[in-house]
Amino acid sequence: MKKQLMLMLVVASMLASCTVVRQGEVGVKRKLGKLQDKTYPPGTVGYNPFTATVIKVPVRTVNVEITSNLPSKEGLNVNAVISILYRIKPEYAPNIIESIGDNYEEVVINSVFRSASADVCSRFFAKDMHTAQRSVIEKEITERMSSVLGDRGFDIEAVLLKTIRLPQGLSRAVEEKLEAEQDAQRMEFLLQREKLEAKRKLVEAEGIRDAQRVISQGLSKEILHWQSIEAFKQLADSPNSKVIITNGEAPLLMKEIKSN
């Protein structure tokens, strides 16, 4: 009985002195209140439960979503929903836990983002956040955050402006401008098409004119006389009765009478 009890205590002690670090995490051991510099990869980590603990730090990509009012160049506040994609560099995990704590997301990620976004967005007009300039704003905020947090162990992968809500009056003005630009592009297309059609007709007319000029230059008296002879010959070969009035050089009037 005593042996079984001892065995159970040994097994319980062994189980209590192990923890599992999952995929996408690293383990940081705190022994007697002091963090160790070593990080533990996914797997089983042994420790003395009476003197140590193992802190698990996620190192996979994390998506934190923030709703914020972004200032614009003209002094407007643009409501936006932003996603920040970041991850912790595994080798920096002990330093992050020691210097910042486990609430690093609120302490540094959100704070640095609000500062960086205010600096960047204040240089752009509100409408720019709703147009192609959005990608430029996202890139600049990402670079600004990376310059502050990169050396502290955070890899800022991207900042995405997911939803932009412009003030109602400005939103309608932006829509009207986009509609006007589309109308202008459509009119430019029609104008270009008409110019091409006019050019085509001009080329066609020039071709007809040149052809007529060549024909008129090639019509000599001999050719006209030869064509008159050919016409008389075709009339003579016709089986129908006919009356021809002519000056002797060309047929002026012809009346055909069909034979029965």
Query: In this structure, what CATH number is given to the domain that contains residue 157?
Result: 3.30.479.30
Mean pLDDT, the chain, integer: 79
pTM higher than 0.75, yes or no? no
Claim to verify: residue 240 and residue 253 sit in the same structural domain? yes
Claim to verify: residue 162 and residue 243 sit in the same structural domain? no
Claim to verify: residue 67 and residue 46 sit in the same structural domain? no
In a domain, 228, yes or no: yes
CA dihedral sign of residues 105, 108, 114, 116: negative
Claim to verify: residue 66 and residue 162 sit in the same structural domain? yes
In a domain, 241, yes or no: yes
Claim to verify: residue 28 and residue 90 sit in the same structural domain? no
Residues 126 and 78 sit within 8 Å (Cβ to Cβ): yes
Instruction: Name the least confident of 8-12, 24-28, 117-121.
Output: 8-12
pLDDT of residue 255 exceeding 50: no
Q: Say which DSSP state 109 is in.
A: I
In a domain, 235, yes or no: yes
Claim to verify: residue 97 and residue 70 sit in the same structural domain? yes
Claim to verify: residue 42 and residue 75 sit in the same structural domain? no
Average pLDDT over residues 47-66: 88
Residues 126 and 167 sit within 8 Å (Cβ to Cβ): yes
Average pLDDT over residues 44-66: 88
Average pLDDT over residues 126-147: 89
* Greater pLDDT, 143 or 4: 143
Average pLDDT over residues 218-235: 66
pLDDT of residue 52 exceeding 50: yes
Claim to verify: residue 156 and residue 92 sit in the same structural domain? yes
Q: How far, in Å, CA of 141 to CA of 135, rounded?
A: 10
Confidence band, pLDDT 50/70/90 cuts, at residue 215: low
Task: Please identify which residue in the block is written with the tokens 């042996």.
Answer: 3
pLDDT of residue 196: 84
Q: How far, in Å, CA of 110 to CA of 255, rounded?
A: 103
Give the CA distances from residue 89 to residues 40, 68, 96, in Å, rounded to whole numbers and listed in that order. 13, 27, 10
Domain holding 140, by residue range, is 62-171
- What token pair was written down for 233? 């010959």
* Number of separate domains in the chain: 3
Claim to verify: residue 20 and residue 71 sit in the same structural domain? no
pLDDT of residue 45 exceeding 70: yes
% of residues, the chain, pLDDT over 70? 70
pLDDT of residue 73 exceeding 70: yes
pLDDT of residue 178 exceeding 70: no
